[in-house]
């Protein structure tokens, strides 16, 4: 589905846990996430910590959207 959005002319970042699948389906900007049932969270953290984690991941995604890429790229987790 990321491919159809890309094809429509909009840059798209795919946030997912199983990044090889994302590579297979043809996403160009890929940001790895935490786990399948809670990609952008972690129930073992406190609410504040979890929010900070999510914010960092989303920031990662926005950075990916702001980065020119030539081919498929996985933006590994920062920090």
Partner 1 sequence: MSYRVVHYINQFFANIGGEDMAHVPPELREGAVGPGMALQQAWNGGAEIVSTIVCGDSYFAEHEREAREQILAWVKDAKPDIFIAGPAFNAGRYGYACANIALSVQDELNIPVLTGMYEENPGADMRDKILIVSTSNSAAGMRKAAPAMAALAFKLMNGEEIGPSVVEGYMPNGIRKNFFEKERGAKRAVRMLISKLNGKPFVTEFPMPSFDRVTPNPAVKDMSRATIALCTSGGIVPRDNPDRIEASSASRYGEYSIAGVDSLTKGAYETAHGGYDPVYANENPNRVLPVDVLRELEREGRIGKLYDVFYSTVGNGTSVAASRAYAEEYAKKLKDANVDGVIMTST
Partner 2 sequence: MVTNNPLVKERMGKTYPVIFVEGGYRDVLIKVRDMVHLGHRLFTHPLMGSIKPNQTPYRTVCLSKNVHEFSMEDPQIISNSIVACDKFVPAQYFPQSMLKDLQTADISLIWGTMAREQNRNMN
Q: Which residues are at the interface with partner 1 (CB under 8 A)? A: 1-18, 22, 26-29, 33, 36-41, 43, 50-51, 54-55, 57-59, 61-62, 65-72
20 CB contacts (<8 Å, ≥6 apart)? none
- Between residues 11 and 41, which has the closer beta carbon with respect to partner 2? 41
Longest dimension (CA), the chain: 39
Q: Residue 30 pairs with which residues in a beta bridge?
A: 14, 74
Closest contact distance (angstroms) between CB of 53 and partner 1 is: 10
**Binding positions for partner 2, rule: CB under 8 A:** 18, 20-21, 23-24, 36
């Amino acid at each position: 589905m990321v491919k159809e959005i890309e094809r429509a002319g909009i840059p798209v970042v795919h946030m997912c846990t199983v990044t090889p699948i994302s590579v297979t389906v043809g996403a160009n900007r890929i940001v790895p996430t935490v786990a399948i049932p809670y990609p952008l969270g972690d129930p073992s953290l406190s609410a504040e910590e979890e929010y900070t984690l999510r914010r960092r991941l989303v920031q990662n995604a926005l950075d990916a959207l702001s980065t020119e890429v030539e081919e498929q790229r996985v933006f590994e987790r920062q920090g």
